[in-house]
Structure 1
């Protein structure tokens, strides 16, 4: 199994569970729906000419939309670029903030933006049933490229290390600097383990405590400062975000 296959494979095994909760948007997405959306969006990208190994610029905050966009690009055979640099014909963003670069031919946005197509337009009848087995998958803000084989291996390792269970609920309270990879990685880890995940963007200590209580969170993965403050409570199981990306050298 590859990186995306691990995530979508877990999705297929837990059909109908409302596993991902995006605090910013209020969206709750079942694993089965996530898998179908990724397959359809990947089909839409292929229909618009996405080639194997081609960069797609992604400018999205941590959340469900980021997970769908990144995994759709990779499942279609493209490379998701979180650094917004380099030549690219396609871009996926929350909204347009100004003129688009001349080399970008297709822009898809989550929010209505003049000159852009709605991201939902990519979800048609065409699907991609099998993604690539190896090759580049993700480019970080630093410019480092992570390969499918690398991501797959590290995702398996962290899954065995954390030993999350299906009844766990994980709170993703990680930082999104310099890019949102850590938030995406927490979602991947949770889905691979069959756990639920609540995704929060820049929460406060109080905000984390409220979310932990509301969603019966059993494991919190947080930025260093948040993790230190939350760890003062012996009843909470808190992990520093650095622990989940250390094996990747991040």
Structure 2
């Protein structure tokens, strides 16, 4: 089966990632942009924009510029968002990691991290040290969205990375921002780490583009964070959704503002989604994506209405997909499992300019073009 997203002719803005994310931040500059649930530290949109500009100038003063890879080993909170977009604004390539040893393996020239968290070969920078100047203190480089890298992202498997251009990252975040998963008035709690592309470009960047508030869970208690920050949308891996579905403590927390749970990072059985929806009193929707696609490619916003709680949906605008036999490459008919392959409007790799991207994931599609992810293809 071959299928296309709802708008296969989707057009994305030809701008840098930081411009796409923060370009409209002046609409409500006093609104809280990013919160660290563990520490409670937060920044407003006005603060975030100013801090990104100052930190970017600080990076340029440190000799960091176009093409340099800079590791990010930071908590899921304001410091991460500032560092991410400061590195991009300086023309360099951020490489978010959850384990410090990956920084040297990627050939990074520096890493932005709290004191004492890194002892590798790359130069260590602290976000506070980059924030000592004034906005506009240095001339920042221009980037070519179609050619210049904006993100070095980890893919599945040890040591695997992919360089994504500004155009690819912008397409990924705009797909989600335009999908209706998040609105500008939402408070979005993410248990997906920002060091993962799905957390970074499936949650953080789209939510900031829309003017929402993003709460990074980090190691904080999930139910307490949902209550204390009055979350309206939470994005969780399947294991946490399963835990909530069976946790009687849910009833002791005021979660009345919660309007949706989005599940990403693996398949969730329909019975688990149904149990979680009943326990939490809101829809549970599945999403699918991967690093090479710069975020989400599928999101099932009509799961409850269509009775497809275990489906990731039909594909977001601009996404083409098909399911093939994993050995022969022949197209699989409806309801026959095979490997899910994607084609994106700006998809590109170092190997081939435009091609079908094998995901390594086993899936099947029904007669209505809805995709059901089963797990990894054997041997991947």
- Alignment partner, residue 24 of structure 2: 10
- Alignment partner, residue 232 of structure 2: 218
Q: Does residue 161 of structure 2 align to residue 143 of structure 1?
A: yes
For normalisation by structure 1, the TM-score amounts to 0.82
Q: Is the 8 A contact 1:66 1:184 kept in 2?
A: no
Matched residue pairs, number?
233
- Alignment partner, residue 155 of structure 1: 173
RMSD: 2.6
CA offset at residue 158 of structure 1? 0.7
> Which of the pair has the greater relative contact order for Cα pairs under 8 Å at 6+ separation?
1
For normalisation by structure 2, the TM-score amounts to 0.55
Q: Does residue 294 of structure 2 align to residue 248 of structure 1?
A: yes
Match of 1:121 among 121, 129, 132: 129
Matches within 5 A, 1:19-30: 19-30=33-44
Q: Is the 8 A contact 2:18 2:85 kept in 1?
A: yes
CA offset at residue 5 of structure 1? 0.9
Q: Is the 8 A contact 1:139 1:146 kept in 2?
A: yes
| CA distance, structure 2, for counterparts of residue 52 and residue 10 of structure 1 | 25
Q: Is the 8 A contact 2:70 2:92 kept in 1?
A: yes
Deviations 1:54-92 (A, max 9, x none): 111222232221111111101100011234123333221
Q: Does residue 288 of structure 2 align to residue 237 of structure 1?
A: no
- 1:127–1:216: structure 2 CA closer, same or farther, 3 Å change rule? farther
Q: Does residue 198 of structure 2 align to residue 182 of structure 1?
A: yes
- Alignment partner, residue 67 of structure 2: 53
Q: Where is the strand percentage greater, Structure 1 or Structure 2?
A: 2
- Alignment partner, residue 198 of structure 1: 215
Deviations 1:171-214 (A, max 9, x none): 112257xx4443333221211111112111144xxx32322222
| CA distance, structure 1, for counterparts of residue 54 and residue 171 of structure 2 | 26
Match of 2:187 among 166, 169, 174: 169
